[in-house]
Amino acid sequence: MMTTIMTTQVGVRDLKLHAPRLVERAARGESIVITRYGKARARLVPADDVGDDTPTPSGRAAEWGAEQRAFERLEPELTRKHRGRFVAVSRGKVVGVDDDHEALYERVWAKLRGKTFFIGRVGAPPPVVEMTGFEVE
Amino acid sequence: MKRALDRGFDPPAPMVPARVRAPGGADWEALSAKVDTGADLSAVPDRVLEALDVAPVRVVRAATFTGALQEVPVYRVDLELAGELLPRVEALATRRPYVIAGRNVLRHFVVKIDGPREQIELRRPT
């Protein structure tokens, strides 16, 4: 079955005057093309057509995400044994525990060289670092 | 190593040459780094981290200049700053096109910024 999408052209002046109504029409599936000096310059489309612009992690970043989720799954059990300590997880299993995340990283990196792993502190929120020159990105 | 402050920023900024690679990797990316004594950690352009396929290791909450906290991943990279290699240093991802050299790497250097002469000196302690 072929779907026909209705397209309407409106000038910037009409957009200013009728923005709420045009947004509603676009939300219902109509394609509203905004023109300026007679030329098409922009388009209003339903939000569902825009999609999620959050980048999907790929490669090693995706692997790391899986390790982070494994840590979260293991955390209730880890809390009993290692509350407040840093735990490293790789391939869904605990591969190291330490009170110092730097020492733990170096040990696990030397052992797993090249493999992806996650380090988290059991039963504690992530530490705060001051990045005073940074805006939220 | 003494360098002129970069007048591409207003006021002129302390920029030094830097290179980044994945820990123990072979491919380097050459960049500039802004010396930032107010940053606890360093930061590397996100496009470089992606190109080098570097994985994060842990998560921190970054306190930005507004005081807002944001959970962000922390990566490990080999960073060469002013010709000195610092292996496996922690870095956040930034959308800026240059490296931020924070105190986690500056702690290994003597840093002198001469505002009136518009110069920065960055060297390892003797």
Q: What is the pLDDT of residues B30-65, one digit of tens each?
A: 999 999 999 999 999 999 999 999 999 999 999 988
Residue numbers of the domain that contains B118: 2-123
Q: A43 lies in a domain?
A: yes
Contact status, residue B13 vs residue B34, Cβ threshold 8 Å: yes
Among candidate residues B35, B120, B95, B45, the one with its CA nearest the CA of residue B75: B45
Q: A130 lies in a domain?
A: no
Taking CA atoms, what residue in A is nearest to B57?
A118
Q: A18 lies in a domain?
A: yes
Burial A70-100 (b: 16+ CB within 10 A, else e): bbeebbeebeeebeebbbbbbeeebbbebee
Q: A132 lies in a domain?
A: no
Mutate to test the interface with B, among A116, A129, A135 (most CBs of B within 10 A): A129
Contact status, residue B92 vs residue B43, Cβ threshold 8 Å: yes
Question: Do residues A41 and A77 both lie within one domain?
Answer: no
Mutate to test the interface with A, among B9, B46, B49, B58 (most CBs of A within 10 A): B58
Output the pTM of the full model: 0.76
CATH code of the domain in which B90 resides: 2.40.70.10
Question: Do residues A73 and A112 both lie within one domain?
Answer: yes
Quick one: B119 exposed, middle or buried, by C-beta within 10 A (0-12, 13-18, 19+)?
middle
What's the number of domains chain B is made of? 1
DSSP designation for B67:
S
Question: Do residues A70 and A42 both lie within one domain?
Answer: no
Distances from the Cα of A38 to the Cα of A11, A57, B8, B48, B98, angstroms: 7, 41, 40, 42, 42
ipTM: 0.87
Question: Do residues A65 and A16 both lie within one domain?
Answer: no
What's the number of domains chain A is made of? 2
What is the rounded distance in angstroms from the CA atom of residue A46 to the CA atom of residue B31?
Answer: 41
Residue numbers of the domain that contains A115: 59-121
Q: A32 lies in a domain?
A: yes
Taking CA atoms, what residue in B is nearest to A119?
B58
Q: How many CB atoms lie within 10 A of CB A41?
A: 11
Q: A69 lies in a domain?
A: yes
Check A132 against B68: CB less than 8 A apart.
no
Question: Do residues A88 and A111 both lie within one domain?
Answer: yes
| Full pLDDT tens readout for chain B, 126 residues | 799 999 999 999 999 999 999 999 999 999 999 999 999 999 999 999 999 999 999 999 999 888 889 999 999 999 999 889 999 999 999 999 999 999 999 999 999 999 999 999 999 998
Question: Do residues A39 and A93 both lie within one domain?
Answer: no
Q: A17 lies in a domain?
A: yes
